[in-house]
Structure 1
Amino acid sequence: METSALEEPATVRPAPGNELPTQDQLEVEGDVAADYIEELLDIADLDGDIDITVRAGRAYVSVTASGDANVRVLSKPDTVAALQELTRIAVQTKTGNFSRLILDVGGSRDARAAELAVLVERAVGRIEEGATSAALPPMSSYERKLVHDIVAERGFVSESEGEGADRHTVIRRA
């Protein structure tokens, strides 16, 4: 079956009943991603060590560097998000399977998690002062999941609302 250049490629999704990839598939995904990131670092003449872990049905690829290595130029949230999407596309191209891998560069994920915790604290503060709900800005599904976890730990409830790039989290009392 031929497709025109204007048609979107079909997204490869797991077969029903097999939503989560196997440990072996995730390890292959991590290896492909690490190879892609390593090539990118070489092209950009950046130093960094790559670590691959598999947990909770996802491959996690971390790029770290010691001292004043220049990998920090890639650790801005928007840059990490773009690199993660490019890496996911590279994995999908190589394996034929949709990838949900998470990329971390220079501790950017921990830094973003701390920023999200501050956002949640401010929102919870508004609710404790009498607001019925508090909406956070749009963010990725991964970030929304982190927010939902933080909110639940605080004893509040949250849900995602909106579509596409406008999807955001709304927090309410339990």
Structure 2
Amino acid sequence: MKQMTATGNTIDEAVQSALDQLQTSKDQVNVEVIDEGKKGFLGVFGTKPAIVKVSIVKDPVQEAESFVKEVAAQMGAPVEVTTKLDGKHLFMELEGEKIAMLIGKRGQTLNSLQYLVQLAVNRESDQFYNVLLDAENYRSRRRETLETLANRLAEKAIRTGESVHLEPMPSYERKVIHSALQNHSKVETDSAGNDPKRHIVIHPIR
């Protein structure tokens, strides 16, 4: 967190000095008064300056959008970003002419970018934010694909009588598989392995 300790004849003067040096405005900072200062005799003798610590408060939405746009531009796939903050959840929708480049094979590039954005947003934040990145409704289409895959592999496990191991997936994609089969009467699911190779295993119920 970028911060500045400044002094002045009054608290207001000290704060303004810090704002000038940080090149920001008062609504973008937290102010901690270290010493209120003291007016001396006749305004001269025994005078103590006021001391304040001013810290810039980062906007998680602005931080996330700036990071995504910068990375996308460096990849040669500039994007427009629409962001919604709901409590601790940050939802970001990306649009651009070369969006497929940011999605990647089976969403791998999008997942990696999402991971990096989450690291960047939470690096200096007092509150943890869960970031969900989407591009041209890819997440919804991926959910449908995963649900279809879950049911097809469940039938395979029932038919062969053997457990079926799926490919490694991020946690929220594993949750889709678990949810799709949680009420299935003939199979059960669990997760195996460690990230980034953690994956779903579908077991036939004998």
TM-score interval (norm. to shorter): 0.5 to 0.7
Contact 1:60 1:102 (8 Å CA) reproduced = yes
Deviations 1:31-88 (A, max 9, x none): 42122213334455544332223459532211024xxx22222111121122112211
More strand by share: 2
Deviations 1:75-118 (A, max 9, x none): 11121122112211211224255443121223332333233223
- Which letter does structure 1 place at the counterpart of 2:159? E
Partner residue, 2:113 = 83
Query: Counterparts of 2:153 and 2:160 in 1: how far apart (Å)?
Result: 11
Contact 1:119 1:136 (8 Å CA) reproduced = no
More helix by share: 1
Contact 2:181 2:189 (8 Å CA) reproduced = yes
Question: So what's the TM-score if we normalise by structure 1?
Answer: 0.66
Matched positions, count: 144
For structure 2, the 5+ residue unaligned runs are: 1-58
Partner residue, 2:191 = 160
Query: Counterparts of 2:76 and 2:203 in 1: how far apart (Å)?
Result: 47
Deviations 1:149-171 (A, max 9, x none): 11225454321122232311122
| Alignment match of 1:120 (pick from 129, 150, 162) | 150
Query: Counterparts of 1:61 and 1:53 in 2: how far apart (Å)?
Result: 7
Question: So what's the TM-score if we normalise by structure 2?
Answer: 0.58
Partner residue, 2:65 = 34
Which one is further off, 107-116 or 143-152?
107-116
- Which letter does structure 2 place at the counterpart of 1:134? V
Partner residue, 1:72 = 100
Q: Does 1:172 align with 2:203?
A: yes
Based on CA coordinates, which of the two structures has the bigger radius of gyration? Answer: 2
Partner residue, 2:180 = 150
Q: CA, structure 1 residues 163+71, in 2 after alignment: closer, same or farther (shift >3 Å)?
A: closer
Contact 2:190 2:202 (8 Å CA) reproduced = yes
Identical columns (%): 23
For structure 1, the 5+ residue unaligned runs are: 1-27
- Which letter does structure 2 place at the counterpart of 1:102? L
